[in-house]
């Protein structure tokens, strides 16, 4: 009985193998149907990368401009002849209020001669007013 069961089982296995073998051969992909040449998905960067880069560039440019302005404001700048004259005349006015007329006259004369020297382009500080005309 065992041998008949074994015979029947081996016959069934052989039949199934004979019937399934052609189906398995059809299921194997041909070389033209091979999927190994298919590439993976293309990476698409998020939409916010460009606006973020532009915003960062604008922030850096604004910061640079503000830093340059702040740096230039810290540097001592040379006074123009007009500003120097105004400062000198302010000091002369303080001398006039205190009653020191001699100091006031010297500051006003120096300021006037300096303004004329700047305006005329010659060194007229040692000259007096009578020599200028």
Per-residue confidence in pLDDT tens, the chain, 133 aa: 556 767 777 776 666 666 665 655 555 556 666 667 777 888 887 889 889 999 999 999 999 999 999 999 898 888 887 888 888 888 888 888 888 888 888 888 888 877 777 777 665 556 655 555 4
Cα atoms in the Cβ-side hemisphere of radius 13 Å centred on 119: 8
Look at residues 121, 116, 118 and name the one whose alpha carbon lies nearest to residue 133.
116
**Largest alpha-carbon pair distance within the chain?**
153
pLDDT for residue 67:
97
Tokens of 44: 């698409």
Q: Which residues contact 111 (CB under 8 A, 6 or more apart)?
A: 85, 88, 89, 92
- Contact call for residues 117 and 124 (beta carbons, < 8 A): yes
C-alpha 102/C-alpha 3 separation (Å) is 145
Give all strands (DSSP E) within 62-129, no chain letters. none
């Amino acid at each position: 009985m065992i041998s008949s069961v074994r015979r029947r089982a081996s016959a069934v296995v052989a039949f199934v193998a004979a019937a399934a073998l052609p189906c398995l051969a059809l299921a194997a992909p041909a070389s033209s149907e091979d999927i190994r040449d298919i590439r993976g998905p293309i990476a698409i960067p998020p939409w916010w990368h460009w606006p973020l880069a532009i915003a960062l560039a604008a922030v850096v440019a604004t910061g640079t401009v503000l830093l340059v302005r702040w740096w230039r404001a810290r540097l001592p700048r040379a006074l123009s002849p007009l500003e120097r004259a105004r400062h000198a005349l302010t000091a002369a006015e303080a001398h006039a209020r205190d009653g020191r007329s001699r100091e006031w006259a010297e500051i006003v004369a120096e300021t006037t001669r300096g303004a004329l020297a700047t305006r005329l382009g010659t060194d007229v500080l040692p000259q007096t007013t009578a020599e200028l005309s």
